[in-house]
Amino acid sequence: MDKTMILVPGRTTKQGVGLIDSKFKKDYREATTTVEINVEDMARLGLEDGCKVKLRSADGVVTVKCTGRRTEDLPPGLMFIAYGPPTSKLMGKDTAASGMPLSKHLEVELKRVS
């Protein structure tokens, strides 16, 4: 089942520590390929922790795995992921003459892969 959600990429401690070591190693890749989803959204979409999902924006598509977050921490409709190469693929190219492409609050469609 497809579902449009808002994706918020941002920094995390694990991502920061991982990039110091290497962006090509396991810790960084794991941090930047795990999306946090509200637990109510996960239940509604038939997802469980660790399952793979496709995130598709107007500009790209990536496959990541998901993990649940309580509504107090992450409201329904919102997802969070540590920024990195996967989120860069979802970003648009239009900067509206500011130099800054929209890098947060990306509208993505979510679809279970496995």
Residue 36 is inside which H or E element, if any?
Answer: strand 34-38
How many binding residues for other proteins (CB under 8 A)? 40
Per-residue x/- marks for other proteins, 74-113, CB under 8 A? xx--x-x--xxx--xx-xxx-xxxxxxxxxxx--------
Nearer to other proteins, 50 or 85 (CB): 85
23-42 positions binding other proteins, by CB under 8 A: 23-24
Nearer to other proteins, 45 or 106 (CB): 106
Nearer to other proteins, 46 or 99 (CB): 99
Q: Does residue 67 bind other proteins (CB under 8 A)?
A: no
- Whether the CB-CB separation of 104 and 90 falls below 8 Å is answered with no
Tokens of 10: 């941002």
B/e letters for 22-41, b = 16+ CB within 10 Å, e = fewer, are eeeeebbbebbbbbbbbbeb
Nearer to other proteins, 46 or 106 (CB): 106
The strand pair at 34-38 and 106-112 is best described as unpaired
> What three-state secondary structure class fits 64?
strand
> What three-state secondary structure class fits 39?
helix
Which residues would be at the binding site for other proteins (CB under 8 A)? 6, 8, 10-13, 16-17, 20-24, 59-60, 72-75, 78, 80, 83-85, 88-89, 91-93, 95-105
